[in-house]
Amino acid sequence: MEDRRMRMVMNCSEAEPFVSVLYDGEPVPVEVADHVDGCPNCRACLRSYSEMGAGLRLMASKAAHPTSPVALRDKLRLPFRPARLAFLRAQVLVPRFALALLAAALVATSASIVVLRAQNEVRPLWFQFGVNDRGLHPTLMSHVAQAGSDLEWVIWRVDNPTGVHIAVTAIKEKSVQLRIRALKLSREEADKGYSPKKELRDLSHHEFTYTVGEQFDVPVEGGGVLALLGQVVDHQPRIAFGLPGEPGPDQIVLTSPLVLADATLLADLENASSLAQDRNWGGRIYVPGTGQIVISLQPIPGAVQGEANWGDLRFTWQGRSYLVRTASPITGGDQTRAVWVTLDSEHPWAHGENWQLGVMPLTPAAVKSIQQGP
């Protein structure tokens, strides 16, 4: 069971360093080969090396000072210097031929630098953002858009549902041009399948410039205010089950976790997920027959220090070695990362065995309840 799931949870971040090794014709772990074979993104990356190689060869051939083949051959007969050329035999994150050809192209003509910079500058930008009740809790950036995107959804707020229609007209590195409307709804309207795009289609007088990283207040027609928070990135953010596949350094994401103790499988929570949105929240897993596991990014009373490494979390509790393995990175930032874990085996979770995955606030009262039970 464990071997099967270990191969299934290989993700793009883990496989990425091996893609160029695979292109160079060297052996890679079978988990990497399985992942690349079934992953459109990684296969596209593999194909891009072929395109990059062809492009670099063309640039090297179009040098500013053309030379005859014989003269070029003589120029390339340089003394072998093992110490300086050893890097060409080392394992790197791009194919070795690319390093050699890029170096030759840069020496031959500075135009290649301009070409590479221009290619990078036209790369499309993405806007990752969230909209929620202002002051209720941190905004979850679970929406992704590009320039030209036209989105709609209904937020089920504490008092009344709210329909949101947002169009993204332009994305820059530090700002985003938006058109956005929000309308307070009755529960009857929301239950009947309210369409914000249809009902809030006139966005002509609702244009805003959003400054990246700042909270922006969105007025709600009918009363209230929403908070919008977002970031601009140069790649499509990975979102799974409404949660970030690339969590921030202050977040804990648990996606389809496996829980093992001394290599014995205790729980397989496939298709379940939870998000602790900042350092004031902890991830929580209830394992029937074992107890509740609470995971924190800050020290809490009674916790032991564990180690998170992308999709693996390892810790030792009362002499037993535990592993929590997830289908995506558990937290962001540099890996490996220290985390703090408690396991309460004396008290069942208050919500029973049907709700096995969640989060909890790390308030003094809540942390105390971990030790005392519900």
The domains of the chain are located at 2-121, 126-237, 246-372
Q: Would you say residue 120 has pLDDT above 50? A: no
Confidence at residue 85, expressed as pLDDT on a 0 to 100 scale: 44
Please name the amino acid found at residue 322.
Y
What CA–CA distance (Å, rounded) separates 169 from 55? Answer: 33
Please name the amino acid found at residue 15.
A
- What is the distance in angstroms between the CA of the first residue and the CA of the last residue of the chain? 33
Predicted TM-score (pTM) of this structure: 0.46
Confidence at residue 127, expressed as pLDDT on a 0 to 100 scale: 93
Please give the DSSP secondary-structure letter assigned to residue 333. S
What CA–CA distance (Å, rounded) separates 116 from 101? Answer: 13
Opening angle at CA 147, ends 252 and 138, nearest 5 = 25
Helix or strand run (H / E) with residue 259: strand 258-261
Q: Would you say residue 80 has pLDDT above 50? A: no
User: How much of the chain exceeds pLDDT 70, in percent?
Assistant: 68
What CA–CA distance (Å, rounded) separates 365 from 241? Answer: 30
Confidence at residue 347, expressed as pLDDT on a 0 to 100 scale: 58
Q: Would you say residue 243 has pLDDT above 80? A: no
Q: Would you say residue 30 has pLDDT above 70? A: yes
Q: With beta carbons less than 8 A apart as the criterion, state whether 260 and 284 touch.
A: no
Mean pLDDT for the stretch of residues 147-157: 86
Mean pLDDT for the stretch of residues 131-158: 77
Q: With beta carbons less than 8 A apart as the criterion, state whether 366 and 318 touch.
A: no
Mean pLDDT for the stretch of residues 183-199: 87
Confidence at residue 302, expressed as pLDDT on a 0 to 100 scale: 86
Q: Would you say residue 153 has pLDDT above 80? A: yes
**pLDDT, greater one: 373 or 123:** 123
**pLDDT, greater one: 268 or 31:** 268
What CA–CA distance (Å, rounded) separates 276 from 340? Answer: 14
Q: Would you say residue 70 has pLDDT above 70? A: no
pLDDT band at 189; cut points 50, 70, 90: confident
Confidence at residue 159, expressed as pLDDT on a 0 to 100 scale: 63
Q: With beta carbons less than 8 A apart as the criterion, state whether 181 and 173 touch.
A: no
CA distances 180 to 70, 196, 201, 208, 251, Å, are: 65, 11, 10, 8, 28
